[in-house]
Amino acid sequence: MTIKRIAVLTSGGDAPGMNAAIRSIVLAAHHYHIEVIGFYHGYNGLVCEEYIKMAKPLTLLDVSSIIQRGGTILKSARCQLMHEERGVALAAQTLKEHNIDALIVIGGDGSFSGLLALKTFWSGQLIGVPGTIDNDVDGTDYTIGFATAVNTGIEAIDKIRDTADAFERVFLVELMGRHSGHITFNVGIACAAEQVLSFENFSSENPTQELQQLAAQINEAKEARHSSYIIVMAENLWPGGAMELAKQLKLQADIDCTPCILGHIQRGGSPIAKDRILATKMGVAAIQAIMDGKSNIMVAEQDNAMYFIALEQAIKHHKLVSQQLVDAQENILALTAQTQC
């Protein structure tokens, strides 16, 4: 089958490097004389009439100066209609009406679930490119945007450390990641945080015990040395987040703790080199997969090499934070306690 026209969209939460992926897809497709149609606002661009009208061919000029830009030129969104059969059918109909041979979606597990749903209604090739700061997609070492999000978190906490040192304060910094601790552990270790609280080392079954243990460790550190104390925690770890945990530390242990929620600041900004390179490699690999007749797969990087992973496998959420990172933080915490004694 000759591939003449493909579609690309960005879906779900934006991630630095998505533009770099769009650029490489358009350039690689141009090499094979394939037209690329950009659909806007995620899957809404396939199911909502107002956005369908915005779809347009992406030229080399359109992507000539976007590799350094954060966000996505195609905009992004979550689409509730794609959770319904009629929405998926509408998306398939749009692809047919635009004579699309293959669809590339840059996003996370939810976006890939949308691709899998399309299989029932559309026979074109379906390719996923992992773009999410959470790094929680199975089968790939890293996802587009993760490295930049980690770097943004590091820069923010380095600044927080300055003011924490000045006042010898305890700061509690909440990081994004949904239900994954990849960002939290990487940022925490890179910033020499005194505590890293995440799903991998925190028991939600006995929060009272965890709170008492955390309070004891903070008090021991404050008594042993007059300095700052930084705690980084994963979002969705504690009911009510960092604000509530800080409140409980005050109520239960009389510890003054300043909460700081980085939030969406981690999604923005110019992608660092690692994300630009990864996105470029994945975009080119996506086009190559189409040329090779592959479908229902996600482009992945493992040990600096490109692989193709079944979409069903990519969304299983089996990917865990490296045990070496978890052990490293626990050992550092133990050594710090010994030094204080």
Catalytic residues: 134
Structure tokens that stand for 243 in this block: 């604000």
- Answer whether 59's CB lies under 8 Å from 30's CB: no
Q: Please name the residues in contact with 284: beta carbons below 8 A apart, sequence gap of 6 or more.
A: 24, 25, 27, 28
Burial classification of residue 49, based on how many CB atoms lie within 10 Å of its CB (0-12 exposed, 13-18 middle, 19 or more buried):
exposed
Structure tokens that stand for 308 in this block: 């193709």
CA geometry: angle 18, 23, 25, nearest 5 deg? 95
According to DSSP, the β-strands at 195-197 and 102-107 are unpaired
b (16+ CB within 10 A) / e for 216-242: ebbeebbeeeeebbbbbbbbebbeebb
- Answer whether 52's CB lies under 8 Å from 252's CB: no
Maximum Cα–Cα distance across the chain:
72
Q: Which amino acid does the sequence have at 69?
A: R
What does DSSP assign to residue 84? S
> What is the dihedral sign for C-alpha 221, 177, 263, 156?
positive
Instruction: Please report, in angstroms and rounded to a whole number, the separation of the first and last CA atoms in the chain.
Output: 71
Q: How far apart are CA 160 and CA 143, in angstroms?
A: 27
